[in-house]
């Protein structure tokens, strides 16, 4: 029973138990093997009969013959095998003319071997005549003269005895139903996936591994007959997954007639309709496609379920995908195409999902109508949003086969190229280049050239992109047309040269020749404004001009290039200190055409979001945005894709700030950004800064070297604005920590001058911080206090936390515990909110010296409390610790919204101290006090000091 036991150990064990039970019992034992056609019931029955015969049993086997069989034919054959030549067939005929209890025929048949067990095997009881079934039923109810086992097979189309098919001869099924009810059911299901390789090797000499076995299980449901039909064309080989799927989709498999030949004409028509509709077909739609009434369709459904082609449920679906492929493969191509065409029109009228209709459109080829192209395009976008890029590309290729106007063909080709650009850039380049060469309309040719240049630029081939743009400009120069087309080509060339190698940037058109152009409307006008914005940022002279041009360059719709415009415009806004406004515009990025997963526009939008989050100091969110793209960006960065390099560099810095330095170092290694030589272009400056961030803790010299290299690159590119990359202040901080204060002071002073000329708190604060580290004593404290005051107006919470931590450390060393407590507590809260774990640990360490001042310096929660200080002469004494506790228990609901520094200043103001006195007590500037007071008044909704008593008293 080796073959019968492949994947059938449980069924074989139960059959053996049936045989043993019949030997021990005093009555007949009945069992039924139930399963769909091809499940292997007959093979199990044959194996069981062979084992029973080998055990000394008298075995008789009969197979149902179906319509036209004479009464008692199966019983005649069984008795003839038990006692051949003694005329017991006549006894059986006599038996059925006598009362049911008369078993003289069987007694005569087994008279020669009364003690020998008898095994009756009945294969396909649906084909057995009802008289023989009645005889078997009577036999099962009577004590036989010898041990008796009756094993039958029955076709099931669902679950339970009620799902067993009726006899094919049309006779009454009452004896069969009663026999099934009395029998022990043994369900024969499909083979498990892990058993398929052994079955395939034994029967078809086909080698299957785990993945190909899973494909076979998916297509056949483990049905052995379907499995052997699927593998027959691959006999003696080791097929691949794709080869198996192609074979399954072809439907040209052996054994099709076994399933389809018994079907009536309506049932076959409905089966074809369900196969064409695919998925889960509604009864009414299937009936209309098959040109049947609903009543006729329901009768056909019952026949198809009885034949085990359809699952016993609605919506209608085949039991196994390979059955649907068999039905499709059995149809002539003309019939199949006509059904797909009719199904597409039918589903369109019923407003079905675009992807459902598009599948039929692909099967029939060009329809020649606009609705077909629109449907295929919508389906492509749906599949792309679901991450199924291959299907999306197939739908777009189908749309290109439809008759399209030049602009429509341009849009579809650009969409298809956008799909290819991320996974197969060479294919995208060929598609756009061929389209560019065959286009005869100037504006369409320019659009193809622009799209081709974008893909080349994204691949790091800026030189080739410039060549394409110059060629398009030369071609356009010979053709009368709109001057805005020439301007767009020049603008794209300017952006491409800006992202490319520095020698290419120097060879480009002078920036002034473009930025001095008169304002334009439309796409060219927005691109010109974006270029002016980025040039203003690089120059670092007029922040207001940069912000104004950035707002003018923001995209107005969802057209092609919107993601790039958003990238440049929002980047300029971030550099100009308008971080909140940039974040608002980032929300529009998700609606930009092409900003879907698996496209460079999506990478650009997500990287922009991460950049804004990093500028706000939100490391958690920035990491969450970039991490899902890391697996794709790392290999792209290794091949020199500029956007990928920038993305990986940003993620590396975020990981370092969060304390995951090992992870950041791994990213650098995998992306190749840790190699000695990097391309001399702007994105390499960010890679060098990321390398410096990783090495700052273990190799300060290497960190400084990388930062200075980034600075040389940016200066060569004409960028001195610290808002682009504050390389001097970062290098100055490292040098100051190493004792190189003179060099650090030169770097920090130079950046501070540039930062003040630019005018944003985000650039001035870090420069002041770096300059403070080159000083000592009171001078360092004053500069750090000024830096904290400046950064309090910025959106960069992380940089503020860094400066407050440094200020707190200096105040601790100076013995000013009260002021140190305030700064360190604020720094700790900000560091924890930003996700900067190393900074939080550093602040915790800075708090330890304050513990030596006594337990009163700590609140019960473990946070630092204010240190009592003597009151000024002529002023009411105020215990800040008592004020802290009073504020903590104040009933006013808005006090909790204040920062610790705001609460501290507010309490001193309530107690009558002037702004100058408060500044002196807290070692901050008067301007800082004024800033915190105005912010607190705004949060509390009060006008000034007179209402502070009411706030703290709960009134």
Q: In 3-state terms, what secondary structure has residue 201?
A: helix
> Poorest-confidence range of 157-161, 266-270, 921-925?
157-161
Residue 288 clears pLDDT 70, i.e. is over it: yes
pLDDT of residue 439: 80
CA distance 124 to 34: 10
Quickly state the pLDDT bin for 765 (edges 50, 70, 90).
very high
pLDDT digits (tens, 9 = 90+) for 81-134: 876 544 444 434 434 443 343 444 544 444 444 577 889 999 988 888 888 888
Tell me: the pLDDT tens digits for 179-226? 888 899 999 988 999 999 999 998 889 999 999 999 999 999 999 989
pLDDT surpassing 90 at residue 424? no
pLDDT at 850: 75
Give the chain's mean pLDDT.
Answer: 82
pLDDT of residue 849: 80
| 672, pLDDT greater than 50 | yes
Question: Given a cut of 90, is residue 687 above it in pLDDT?
Answer: yes
Residue among 480, 443, 499 nearest 640 (CA):
499
C-alpha 535/C-alpha 529 separation (Å) is: 10
SS3 readout for 593-630: CCCCCCCHHHHHHHHHHHHHHHHHCCHHHHHHHHHHHH
- H or E element: which one contains 58? strand 58-63
pLDDT interval class at 721 (50, 70, 90): very high
Distance CA 312, CA 299 (A): 13
* C-alpha dist (Å) from residue 429 to 100, 256, 421, 898: 84, 45, 8, 56
Q: What is the pLDDT of residue 346?
A: 92
Apex 818 CA angle, 816 and 822, nearest 5: 115
Q: Which of 332, 352, 336, 335 is nearest to 344 (CA)?
A: 352
For residues 765 and 803, is the Cβ–Cβ distance under 8 A?
Answer: yes
Residue 856's pLDDT is what?
43
Ranges 524-528, 707-711, 742-746, 801-805: which has the least confidence? 524-528
Q: How far apart are CA 260 and CA 891, in angstroms?
A: 82
**pLDDT score recorded for residue 422:** 79
pLDDT at position 304 over 60:
yes
Predicted pLDDT at 868: 32
Average of per-residue pLDDT across 270-297: 92
| 469 membership: H or E segment, kind and range | helix 462-477
Let me know: does 3 contact 202? Beta carbons within 8 Å.
yes
Q: Which segment of 298-302, 605-609, 943-947 scores lowest on mean pLDDT?
A: 943-947
Reply yes or no: is the peptide bond before residue 315 cis, omega within 30 of 0.
yes
Residue 173 clears pLDDT 60, i.e. is over it: no
Question: In b/e form, how buried is each residue of 252-286, taking b as 16+ CB within 10 angstroms?
Answer: ebebbeebbeebeebbbbbbbbbbbbbeebebebb
Distance CA 232, CA 239 (A): 11
Mean pLDDT for 241-267 is 85
Which of the listed ranges 23-27, 324-328, 865-869, 893-897 does the model predict with the highest average pLDDT?
324-328
Give the SS3 label for residue 33: strand
Contact partners, residue 491, CB within 8 Å, separation at least 6: 514, 524, 527, 528, 531
Beta strands 184-187 and 148-155 are: unpaired
The whole-angstrom distance between residue 490's C-alpha and the CA centroid of its chain comes to 38
Above 90 in pLDDT, residue 610? yes
**Of 77, 20, 7, 81, the residue nearest 51 (C-alpha):** 20
CB 147 within 8 A of CB 118: yes
Binned at pLDDT 50, 70 and 90, residue 851 comes out as low
Instruction: Give the residue with greater pLDDT, 269 vs 96.
Output: 269
CB-neighbour burial class of residue 91 (10 A; exposed 0-12, middle 13-18, buried 19+): buried
SS (H, E, C) 255-308: CHHHHHCCCCHHHHHHHHHHHHHCCCECHHHHHHHCCCCHHHHHHHHHHHHHCC
Average pLDDT over residues 270-290: 91
- Phi/psi of residue 273, each to 5°? -65, -45
Cα–Cα distance for residue pair 191/11, rounded to 1 Å = 12
Question: How far apart are the C-alpha atoms of 358 and 374, rounded to whole Å?
Answer: 10
Instruction: Please say if the pLDDT value at position 1 is more than 70.
Output: no
Tokens of 753: 């001058």
Q: What is the pLDDT of residue 831?
A: 93
Q: What is the DSSP string of 374-430?
A: HHHHHHHHHHHHTT-HHHHHHHHHHHHTS---HHHHHHHHHHHHHHHHHH-HHHHHH
Assign 175 a pLDDT band (cuts: 50, 70, 90). Answer: confident
More confident residue, 721 or 384: 721
What share of the chain in percent tops pLDDT 90?
Answer: 36
Question: What integer pLDDT is reported at residue 258 of this predicted model?
Answer: 78
Q: What is the pLDDT of residue 594?
A: 55
CA 429/CA 447 separation, integer angstroms: 14
Alpha carbon distances (Å) from 548 to 172, 529, 533, 699, 721: 89, 9, 8, 42, 18
Indicate whether 886 pLDDT > 90. no
Burial degree of 225 (CB within 10 A; 0-12, 13-18, 19+) = middle
Residue 877: its pLDDT value, please? 35
How far is the CA of 130 from the CAs of 127, 137, 307, 889, in angstroms? 9, 10, 20, 91
Residue 166, helix vs strand vs coil: coil
Cβ pair 231, 223 in contact under 8 A? no
CB 526 within 8 A of CB 565: yes
Give the pLDDT score at 742.
92
For residue 388, what pLDDT is reported? 83
User: Which of residues 292 and 135 earns the better pLDDT score?
Assistant: 292
d(CA 690, CA 668): 8
pLDDT of residue 527: 87
Mean pLDDT of 273-294: 91
Q: What is the pLDDT of residues 928-937, one digit of tens each?
A: 787 778 778 7
Output phi, psi for 280, to 5 deg.
-115, 105
d(CA 51, CA 683): 76
Q: How far is CA 634 from the centre of its chain?
A: 17
Q: Tens of pLDDT along 359-405?
A: 999 988 888 888 888 899 889 888 887 778 888 889 998 988 888 88
Q: Is 847 helix (H, G, I), strand (E, B) or coil?
A: helix
Measured at the CA of 912, the angle between CA 908 and CA 915, to 5 degrees, comes to 65
pTM here is 0.67
Helix 442-458 and helix 642-658: axis angle, to 10°?
A: 40
Q: Decide if pLDDT at 301 tops 60.
A: yes
E strand or H helix at 580: helix 579-589
Of 100 and 352, more confident: 352
Instruction: Give the pLDDT band of residue 66 (cuts 50, 70, 90).
Output: low
d(CA 883, CA 865): 10
* H helix or E strand, kind and range, residue 122: strand 118-123
Contact 415, 380 (CB under 8 A): yes
Report the alpha-carbon distance of residue 466 to residue 456 in Å, rounded.
9
Distance between CA 444 and CA 739 in Å, rounded?
Answer: 62
| pLDDT given for residue 4 in this prediction | 53
| More confident site: 165 or 947 | 947
Phi and psi at 235, nearest 5°, equal -55, 135
Structure-block tokens of residue 624: 């969450």
Q: Is the pLDDT of residue 357 over 60?
A: yes
Per-residue confidence (pLDDT) for residue 614, from 0 to 100: 93
Mean pLDDT of 8-32: 86
Q: Model confidence at 899, in pLDDT bands (50, 70, 90)?
A: confident
In this predicted model, what pLDDT tens digit does every residue of 530-588 receive, in sequence order? 999 999 999 998 999 999 999 998 887 655 568 888 899 999 999 999 998 998 888 77
Nearest partner of 725 among 827, 644, 648, 650, judged by Cα:
650
């Amino acid at each position: 029973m080796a073959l019968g036991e492949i994947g059938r150990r449980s069924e074989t064990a139960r059959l053996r138990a049936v045989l043993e039970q019949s030997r021990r019992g005093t009555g007949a034992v009945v069992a039924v093997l139930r399963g769909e056609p091809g499940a292997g019931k007959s093979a199990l029955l044959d194996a069981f009969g062979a084992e029973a015969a080998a055990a000394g049993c008298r075995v008789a086997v009969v197979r149902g013959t179906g319509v036209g069989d004479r009464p008692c034919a199966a019983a005649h054959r069984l008795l003839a095998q038990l006692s051949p030549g003694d005329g017991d067939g006549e006894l059986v005929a006599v038996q059925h003319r006598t009362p049911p209890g008369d078993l003289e025929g069987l007694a005569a048949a087994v008279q020669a071997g009364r003690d020998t067990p008898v095994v009756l095997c009945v294969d396909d009881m649906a084909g057995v005549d009802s008289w023989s079934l009645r005889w078997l039923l009577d036999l099962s109810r009577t004590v036989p003269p010898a041990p008796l086992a009756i094993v039958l097979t029955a076709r099931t189309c669902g679950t339970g005895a009620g799902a067993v098919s009726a006899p094919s001869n049309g006779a009454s099924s009452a004896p069969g139903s009663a026999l099934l009810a009395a029998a022990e059911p043994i369900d024969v299901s499909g083979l498990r996936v892990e058993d398929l390789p052994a079955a395939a090797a034994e029967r078809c000499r086909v080698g299957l591994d785990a993945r190909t076995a899973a494909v076979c299980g998916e297509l056949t449901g483990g049905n052995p007959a379907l499995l052997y039909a699927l593998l027959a064309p691959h006999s003696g080989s080791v097929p691949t997954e794709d080869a198996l799927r192609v074979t399954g989709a072809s439907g040209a498999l052996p054994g099709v007639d076994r399933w389809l030949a018994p079907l009536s004409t309506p049932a076959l028509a409905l089966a074809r309709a369900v196969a064409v509709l695919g998925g889960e077909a509604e009864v009414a739609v299937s009936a209309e496609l098959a040109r049947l009434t609903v009543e006729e369709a329901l009768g056909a459904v019952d026949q198809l379920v009885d034949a085990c082609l359809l699952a016993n449920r609605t919506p209608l679906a085949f039991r196994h995908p390979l059955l649907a492929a068999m039905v499709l493969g059995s149809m002539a191509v003309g019939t199949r195409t006509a059904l797909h065409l009719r199904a597409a029109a039918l589903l369109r009228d019923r407003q079905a999902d675009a992807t459902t209709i598009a599948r039929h459109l692909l099967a029939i080829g060009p329809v020649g109508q606009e609705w077909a192209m629109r449907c295929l395009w919508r389906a492509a976008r749906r599949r792309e949003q679901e991450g199924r890029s291959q299907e999306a590309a197939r739908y777009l290729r189908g749309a290109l086969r439809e008759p399209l106007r030049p602009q429509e063909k341009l849009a579809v080709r650009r969409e298809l190229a956008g799909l290819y650009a991320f996974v197969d850039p060479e294919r995208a380049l060929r598609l756009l280049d061929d389209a560019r060469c065959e286009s005869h309309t100037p504006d369409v040719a320019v659009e193809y050239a622009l799209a081709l240049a974008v893909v080349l630029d994204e691949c790091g081939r800026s030189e080739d992109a410039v060549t394409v743009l110059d060629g398009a400009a030369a071609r356009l120069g010979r053709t009368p047309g709109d001057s805005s087309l020439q301007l767009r080509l020049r603008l794209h060339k300017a952006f491409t040269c800006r992202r490319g190698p520095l020698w290419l940037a120097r060879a480009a058109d002078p920036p002034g020749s473009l930025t001095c152009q008169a304002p334009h409307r439309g796409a060219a006008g927005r691109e010109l404004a974006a270029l002016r914005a980025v040039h203003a940022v690089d120059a670092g002279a007029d922040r207001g001009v940069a912000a104004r041009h950035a707002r003018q360059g923001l995209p107005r719709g969802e057209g092609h290039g919107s993601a790039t415009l958003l990238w440049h415009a929002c980047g300029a806004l971030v550099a100009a200190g308008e971080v909140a406004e940039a974040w608002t515009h980032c929300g529009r990025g998700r609606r930009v055409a092409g900003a879907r997963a698996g496209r460079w526009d999506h990478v650009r939008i997500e990287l922009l979001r991460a950049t804004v989050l990093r500028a706000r100091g939100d490391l958690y969110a920035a990491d969450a945005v970039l991490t899902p793209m890391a697996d794709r960006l790392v290999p792209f960065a290794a091949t020199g894709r500029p956007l990928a390099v920038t993305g990986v560099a940003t993620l590396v810095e975020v990981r370092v700030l969060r304390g995951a330095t090992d992870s950041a170092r791994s990213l650098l290694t995998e992306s190749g950004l840790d190699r000695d030589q990097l391309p001399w272009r702007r994105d390499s400056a960010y890679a060098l800064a990321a390398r410096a961030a990783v090495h700052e803790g273990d190799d300060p010299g290497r960190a400084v070297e990388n930062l200075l290299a980034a600075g040389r690159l940016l200066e060569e590119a004409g960028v001195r604005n610290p808002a682009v990359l504050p390389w001097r202040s970062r290098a100055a901080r490292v040098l100051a920590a190493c004792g190189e204060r003179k060099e650090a002071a030169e770097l920090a002073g130079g950046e501070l001058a540039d930062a003040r000329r630019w005018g944003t708190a985000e650039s001035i604060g870090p420069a002041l911080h770096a300059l403070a580290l080159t000083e000592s004593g009171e001078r360092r404290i004053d500069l750090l206090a000024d830096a904290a005051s400046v950064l309090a107006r910025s959106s960069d919470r992380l940089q503020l936390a860094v400066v407050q931590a440094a200020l707190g450390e200096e105040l601790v060393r100076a013995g000013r515990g009260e002021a140190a407590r305030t700064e360190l507590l604020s720094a700790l809260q900000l560091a924890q909110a930003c996700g900067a774990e190393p900074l939080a640990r550093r602040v915790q360490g800075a708090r330890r010296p304050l513990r030596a001042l006594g337990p009163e310096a700590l609140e019960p929660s473990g946070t630092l409390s204010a240190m009592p200080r003597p009151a000024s002469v002529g002023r009411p004494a105020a215990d800040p610790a008592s004020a802290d506790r009073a504020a903590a228990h104040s009933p006013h609901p808005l006090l909790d919204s204040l920062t610790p520094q705001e609460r501290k200043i507010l309490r001193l103001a309530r107690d009558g101290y002037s702004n100058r006195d408060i500044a002196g007590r807290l070692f901050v500037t008067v301007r800082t006090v004024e800033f915190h007071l105005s912010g607190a008044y705004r949060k509390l909704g009060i006008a000034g000091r007179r209402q502070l008593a009411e706030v703290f008293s709960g009134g």
